[in-house]
């Protein structure tokens, strides 16, 4: 018996008598009280009243490994979970663990000191967000690793829709936007031999309940709390994300995942600028290939772009080019 057993009674938000909990758990009322104290120490606000019992008033906005594992319905993803108060970056931690840990290990942190996005750009990681890295070990050739990013993007969009009714779209290659504002970024890093993938670390940076006031305006960011008008339960959200990613991952490479990924694109038919090590390209995004490539029309030429930083151009910007 643990504090989580008591929490399962209190999650209704109604008064629950200590006697009832003691009887159903086959423990003493003193043991119930002791576990209530454990919950309070973890930040749960629990009221007590003679004749009524106990009532859960407020849950803490903290990542709780016990709560996550208790509600998680995955078969393998997240069954090994490492949670820290603060790290340099969850991807860096995951990369250091990847060779020796099981497939599906998840690294989470309340904050990151050195979070990063594409092209090694700094990624702000204040308290209240979800900063998470997944260690995946699919048996696949290197030329198919784009399928992992595709599956993760689709899974996240599904979660935002099913849990919150929010319509998220995918900005090629790895950002999720709601109403043209960035809500989440994905950063995948791999370890590989010449001809095969050893592991992939998929980093997810999601603005959930974090304060956005310190973010530069030009970042054009939003959060789930800002979109919904209230904070969300991060532990529950993490469970739903992992469950949906597991489903999409087990179906990656399918026509269905590709078609959903393409249908959720916010980049198609837009004028864009692509920045990469090879230089800048400006043109119209006319299609997305099954291998994740962006088909870009520049003048009378059609170019395949496999990687790069994508900027959606506003009409006035496009006309000035």
Rounded-to-integer distance, Cα 295 and Cα 142, Å: 21
Is the bond leading into 173 cis (omega within 30 degrees of zero)? yes
List, in order, residues 6 or more apart from 169 with CB less than 8 Å away.
157, 176, 177, 178, 264, 265, 266
Measured between alpha carbons, how far is residue 148 from residues 4, 25, 162, 205 in Å? 34, 43, 21, 16
Contact 186, 152 (CB under 8 A): yes
Listed by start position, the domains of the chain span: 3-58, 65-263, 271-320
Q: How do beta strands 294-298 and 301-305 pair?
A: antiparallel
Instruction: For 136-156, give one letter per residue: b (16+ CB within 10 A) or e.
Output: bbbebeeeebbbbbbbbbbbb
pLDDT of residue 44: 86
| One pLDDT digit (tens) per residue for the chain, 321 residues | 678 789 989 988 899 999 999 999 999 999 999 999 989 987 789 999 999 999 999 888 889 888 898 899 999 999 999 999 899 999 999 999 999 999 999 999 999 987 665 555 666 788 899 999 999 999 999 989 999 999 999 999 999 999 999 999 999 999 999 999 999 999 999 999 877 899 999 999 999 999 888 777 777 999 999 999 999 999 999 999 999 999 999 999 999 999 999 999 999 999 999 998 778 999 999 999 999 999 999 988 999 999 899 999 986 555 555
pLDDT of residue 120: 56
Rounded-to-integer distance, Cα 186 and Cα 261, Å: 14
pLDDT of residue 271: 96
CATH 3.40.50.261: does it fit domain 271-320?
Answer: no
pLDDT of residue 26: 94
Contact 318, 273 (CB under 8 A): no
- Count of Cβ atoms closer than 10 Å to residue 119 Cβ: 10
pLDDT of residue 193: 86
> Virtual CA dihedral for 154, 156, 160, 166, nearest 10 degrees?
-50
CA torsion sign, 261 to 264 to 269 to 275? negative
CATH 1.10.10.10: does it fit domain 3-58?
Answer: yes
pTM confidence score: 0.83
Contact 39, 3 (CB under 8 A): yes
pLDDT of residue 258: 97
Contact 57, 47 (CB under 8 A): yes
Residue 169 CA neighbour count, 13 Å, CB half: 13
pLDDT of residue 194: 79
65-263 folds as: BirA Bifunctional Protein; domain 2 (3.30.930)
């Amino acid at each position: 018996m643990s504090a989580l057993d008591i929490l399962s009674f209190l999650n209704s938000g109604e008064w629950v008598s200590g006697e009832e909990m003691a009887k159903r758990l086959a423990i003493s009322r003193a043991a119930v009280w002791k576990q209530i104290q454990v919950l309070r120490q973890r930040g749960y606000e629990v009221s007590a009243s003679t004749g009524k019992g106990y009532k859960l008033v407020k849950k803490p906005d903290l990542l709780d490994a016990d709560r996550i594992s208790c509600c998680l319905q995955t078969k393998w993803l997240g069954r090994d979970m490492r949670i820290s108060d603060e790290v340099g970056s969850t991807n860096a931690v995951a990369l250091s663990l990847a060779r020796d840990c099981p497939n599906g290990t998840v690294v989470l942190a309340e904050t990151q000191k050195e979070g990063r996005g594409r092209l090694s750009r700094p990624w702000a990681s204040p308290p209240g967000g979800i900063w998470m890295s997944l260690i995946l070990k699919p048996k696949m050739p290197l030329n198919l690793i784009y399928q992992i990013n595709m599956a993760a993007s689709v899974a996240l969009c599904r979660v935002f829709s099913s849990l919150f009714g929010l319509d998220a779209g995918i900005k090629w290659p790895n950002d999720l936007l709601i109403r043209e504002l960035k809500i989440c970024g994905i950063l995948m890093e791999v370890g590989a031999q010449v001809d095969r993938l050893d592991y992939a670390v998929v980093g997810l940076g999601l603005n959930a309940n974090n304060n956005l006031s310190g973010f530069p305006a030009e970042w054009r960011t939003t959060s789930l709390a800002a979109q919904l008008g209230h904070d969300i339960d991060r532990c529950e959200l993490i469970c739903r994300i992992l469950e949906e990613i597991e489903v999409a991952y087990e179906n990656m490479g399918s026509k269905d995942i590709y078609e959903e990924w393409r249908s959720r694109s916010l980049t198609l038919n837009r004028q864009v600028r692509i920045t990469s090590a090879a230089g800048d390209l400006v043109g119209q995004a006319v299609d997305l290939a099954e291998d994740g490539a962006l088909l870009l029309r520049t003048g009378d030429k059609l170019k395949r772009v496999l990687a790069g930083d994508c900027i959606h151009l506003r009409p006035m910007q496009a006309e000035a080019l």
